[in-house]
């Protein structure tokens, strides 16, 4: 199947540091999504990207849709302890049969 590579697999940082994670795909897509999953919960949408080159912010989070349409990154500035969780990128395929498939996730740990 089409591969979606997310990196890094895990990060352990100090409170206040900035964080960057990214996803790359072997194929082009029209939609990139970033989700966060907290322990014991289902994933929650953080940012959705629909256009190549699009840069979108949500508070301390910023995500960009790569110009090649094969990649996306998520940045978190000035991390805080509640940023802890697993961050997933997702890409949409299937046209009218909308399917969302995820990367393997980035586990973020923030040390107070």
Partner 1 sequence: NAGVTQTPKFQVLKTGQSMTLQCAQDMNHNSMYWYRQDPGMGLRLIYYSASEGTTDKGEVPNGYNVSRLNKREFSLRLESAAPSQTSVYFCASRTGQANTGELFFGEGSRLTVL
Binding site for partner 1 (CB under 8 A): 1, 6, 9, 31, 33, 40-45, 48, 50, 88, 90, 92, 96-105
| Least CB distance to partner 1 at residue 72 (A) | 12
Q: What whole-number distance in Å separates Cα of residue 91 and Cα of residue 112?
A: 32
- To which H or E segment does residue 86 belong? strand 85-93
> Dihedrals φ, ψ of 81, to 5°?
-55, -35
- Residue (13 or 48) nearer to partner 1, CB: 48
| Residue 47 and residue 54 in contact, taking contact as beta carbons nearer than 8 Å | no
| Least CB distance to partner 1 at residue 84 (A) | 17
- Residue (9 or 78) nearer to partner 1, CB: 9
- Residue (84 or 92) nearer to partner 1, CB: 92
| Least CB distance to partner 1 at residue 24 (A) | 15
Q: Residue 91, class by beta-carbon neighbours within 10 Å (0-12 exposed, 13-18 middle, 19+ buried)?
A: buried
């Amino acid at each position: 199947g089409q591969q979606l590579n997310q990196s890094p697999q895990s990060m352990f940082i100090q409170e206040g540091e900035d964080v960057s994670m990214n996803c790359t795909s072997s194929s082009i897509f029209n939609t990139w999504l970033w989700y966060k999953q907290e322990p014991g919960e289902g994933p929650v949408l953080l940012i959705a990207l629909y256009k190549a080159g699009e840069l979108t912010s949500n508070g301390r989070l910023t995500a960009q849709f790569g110009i090649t349409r094969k990649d996306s990154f998520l940045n978190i500035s000035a991390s805080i302890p509640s940023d802890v969780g697993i961050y997933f990128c997702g890409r949409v395929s299937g046209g009218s049969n909308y399917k969302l498939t995820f990367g393997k996730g980035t586990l973020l740990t923030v040390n107070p």
